[in-house]
Amino acid sequence: MKISIFGLGYVGVVSAACFAKDGHTVIGVDPVDVKVNMINRGESPIIEKDIGEIIKFVVENGKLKATTNALEAIENSELSLVCVGTPSKINGDLDTSYVQRVCEHIGAAIKNKIQRHVVVIRSTIIPGTIKNIVIPTLEASSGKIAGQDFGVCNNPEFLREGTAVYDFYNPPKTVIGETDVVSGDLLASIYQNLDCPVIRTAIEVAEMVKYVDNVWHALKVGFGNEVGNICKSLGVDSHDVMDIFCSDTKLNISPCYLKPGFAFGGSCLPKDVRALAYKGKSLDINLPILNSILPSNDLHIENGLRMVMEDDNRQIGFLGFSFKAGTDDLRESPVVEMIERLLGKGYEIKLYDKNVNLAALVGANKAFILNKIPHIAKLMVKTMNEVLEHAQTIVIGNNSFEFKNIMDNLREDQKVIDLVRAVDGINSNGFYKGLCW
């Protein structure tokens, strides 16, 4: 395929060299003459393992050249990858001016082009950038319509400095956000020789993925360092601790606990976070990440409360109020916290949870209900239908299987607030509100 790559910085140079090595004909575009001249001499303008040898090879074989002329690049390519920088502004916002400027040049170049062109944003951009900046700029400059006269895709890169060539050929995933299937097909075809999953999704999802990846990586570094600070103060080998931690790929290094839902609770997580944070405080160690976990959890409970209280409905029904489905444990359940706060504000509440049956509870759980929350025990009903008959607003508190089809049993005047995405495939609308989806 004939590919043009706008921006001969780190990502652009690696992408240009590797695509050319794979047999594509690549034109690199950059306003800086020095970079363009270096590429055309077969030299790399960046320092990166193996990239110099690859550029020399592909330039000598006529697969890669560079220019400062955007029109020339567009006329001689089918697909353009935008790889310009998106640095931070002073206030922390993203500076998309380079992306916008390149889109103006590309739009002007495709204005009179007969063949359909596909523009791919590979730069890291905040969700909404393509919808609000890229597409309007391209349409205004070209006089054409995105998705019809030309295609637009988002294709975030996952390259690490120092191992970028290896990462290009061994990516964890290839993510394609597309405005239309034809454009997505064309973009996917240039990755057909890579052994990795190709994920095609909505534009905004693709834009967000890169940020989630990078922020998660940053959080892992900070978390590991805070654990190390506590371990060192206690005389514990932090690397031994984290080696054991990382060996658990069922829970620790896995998708577990990473789906958006309601706040955590139960007899372990709140207690243990609290204890470790207190230990750090007693050792005079500043642990901003660990110390923010419980406040963040409390804010999530506040979000749930706010959603319930936004409407004037006074009759509330809870389906599931143990801290998670499949258990009768109410200790530090965030749903119980919500119920208690709503009771204090005068709401009329009924509760159903098949696992929290007072007659079947024994030991610690029975004592907890009778001694700590007897007022809540009085609100419990034996069937889900009793809650549905009572409530104007129905709150789903855990993802018990019996709640999945709740939307089929609603009256016209009822609303559902789903704290755990027990109902699949629905996003917030007039009758259904998801907590964070």
256 is catalytic: no
The secondary structure of 37-89, three-state, reads HHHHCCCCCCCCCCHHHHHHHHHHCCCEEEECCHHHHHHCCCEEEECCCCCEC
Nearest to 181 by CA among 138, 145, 151, 139: 151
Instruction: Please tell me which residue in 196, 246, 256, 268 is annotated as part of the active site.
Output: 268
Please indicate if the annotation marks 430 as binding a ligand: no
Please indicate if the annotation marks 411 as binding a ligand: no
Task: Spell out the residues 6+ positions from residue 313 whose beta carbon is closer than 8 angstroms to its own.
Answer: 391, 392, 393, 415
Please indicate if the annotation marks 87 as binding a ligand: no
Task: Spell out the residues 6+ positions from residue 284 whose beta carbon is closer than 8 angstroms to its own.
Answer: none
Please indicate if the annotation marks 158 as binding a ligand: yes
Please indicate if the annotation marks 35 as binding a ligand: yes
Please indicate if the annotation marks 271 as binding a ligand: yes
Please indicate if the annotation marks 210 as binding a ligand: yes
Please indicate if the annotation marks 30 as binding a ligand: yes
User: Tokens standing for 326?
Assistant: 């499949």
What type of residue is 55? I
Task: Spell out the residues 6+ positions from residue 130 whose beta carbon is closer than 8 angstroms to its own.
Answer: 121, 152, 154, 177, 203, 204, 207
Please indicate if the annotation marks 351 as binding a ligand: no
Please indicate if the annotation marks 361 as binding a ligand: no
User: Tokens standing for 358?
Assistant: 């007072």
How many angstroms separate the CA atoms of 225 and 151, rounded?
Answer: 44
Please indicate if the annotation marks 79 as binding a ligand: no
Task: Spell out the residues 6+ positions from residue 233 whose beta carbon is closer than 8 angstroms to its own.
Answer: 283, 285
**Could you give the angle at which helices 51-60 and 10-21 cross, rounded to 10 degrees?**
50
Please indicate if the annotation marks 324 as binding a ligand: yes
Please indicate if the annotation marks 161 as binding a ligand: yes
Long-range pairs for 193-198: beta carbons < 8 A, 24 or more residues apart: 193/22, 194/169, 195/170, 196/170, 196/171, 196/172, 197/173, 198/173, 198/174
Contact between 417 and 304 (Cβ < 8 Å): yes
Please indicate if the annotation marks 304 as binding a ligand: no
Farthest CA pair distance, the chain: 83
Cα angle at 297 between 291 and 301, to 5 degrees?
150
Contact between 38 and 45 (Cβ < 8 Å): yes
Please indicate if the annotation marks 122 as binding a ligand: no
Contact between 96 and 103 (Cβ < 8 Å): no
Please indicate if the annotation marks 65 as binding a ligand: no
Binding site, residues? Answer: 30, 35, 86, 124, 158-161, 210, 257-261, 265, 271, 324, 331
Binding site for NAD(+), residues? Answer: 30, 35, 86, 124, 161, 271, 331
Binding site for substrate, residues? Answer: 158-161, 210, 257-261, 265, 324
Task: Please give the positions annotated as active site.
Answer: 268
